[in-house]
């Protein structure tokens, strides 16, 4: 029994952010759905660069995560345990993505948020890799892979945006 539990936990970590489904109470309304696919932030223009330009701008780990849809190991990326107040921005284009006011401890080892800083900051796409159906989260400005969104988050949205720390920079709130 213990071996099965350990194997299940290792599988979750290998696939990144995935947690077993949490059963909702019958009187709990269904969670909100994440923003629709490929919505571009109205205040910005799309950022498009070649692979070579991205490789020059990003660290190897940032490039692997954001441009090649990689996942950092749990509990190793920047900002997963950051408790400071501020804003998380895309490493690719600097767009504001998430606020520390919406961050919560999910226990997964990746920074988790119950909503983006604004709905148009992120886009979503269906992700059917690894024999699973998930929802991928992307920066709406530069299409950087950020992570995935799940429907087992806290109220008020019921969503858990499980985001790779290497996909973001953190700007501390000025006092």
Buried b (16+ CB within 10 A) or exposed e, 88-118: bbbbbbebbbbbbebbeebebbbbbbbbbbb
Supply 29's token pair.
Answer: 């309304």
| Whole-angstrom distance, CA of residue 114 vs CA of residue 61 | 25
* Active site annotation includes 162: yes
Sheet holding 103-104, edge to edge: 103-104, 112-113, 160-163, 145-150, 134-139, 122-127
Q: Say which of 17, 93, 142, 162 is annotated catalytic.
A: 162
Q: Is 126 left (phi over 0), alpha (psi -120 to 50) or beta?
A: beta
Q: Are 144 and 67 in contact (CB under 8 A)?
A: yes
Sheet holding 96-99, edge to edge: 96-99, 86-90, 168-172
The residues annotated with a catalytic role in the active site are 162
């Amino acid at each position: 029994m213990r071996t099965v539990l350990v194997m299940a936990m290792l599988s979750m970590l290998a696939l990144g952010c995935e947690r077993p489904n949490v059963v909702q109470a019958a009187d709990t309304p269904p969670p909100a759905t994440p923003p629709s696919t490929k919505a571009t932030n109205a205040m910005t223009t799309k950022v498009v660069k070649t692979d070579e330009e991205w490789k020059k701008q990003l660290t190897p780990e940032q490039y692997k995560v954001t441009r090649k849809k990689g996942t950092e190991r749990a509990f190793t990326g920047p900002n997963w345990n950051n408790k400071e107040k501020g804003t998380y921005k895309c490493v690719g284009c600097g767009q504001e993505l998430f606020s520390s006011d919406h961050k919560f401890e999910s226990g997964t080892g990746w920074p988790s948020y119950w909503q983006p800083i604004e709905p148009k900051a992120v886009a979503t796409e269906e992700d059917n890799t690894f024999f699973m159906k998930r929802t991928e989260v992307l920066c709406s400005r530069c299409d950087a892979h950020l992570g995935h969104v799940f429907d087992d988050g806290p109220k008020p949205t019921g969503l858990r945006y499980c985001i790779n720390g290497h996909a973001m920079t953190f700007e501390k709130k000025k006092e």
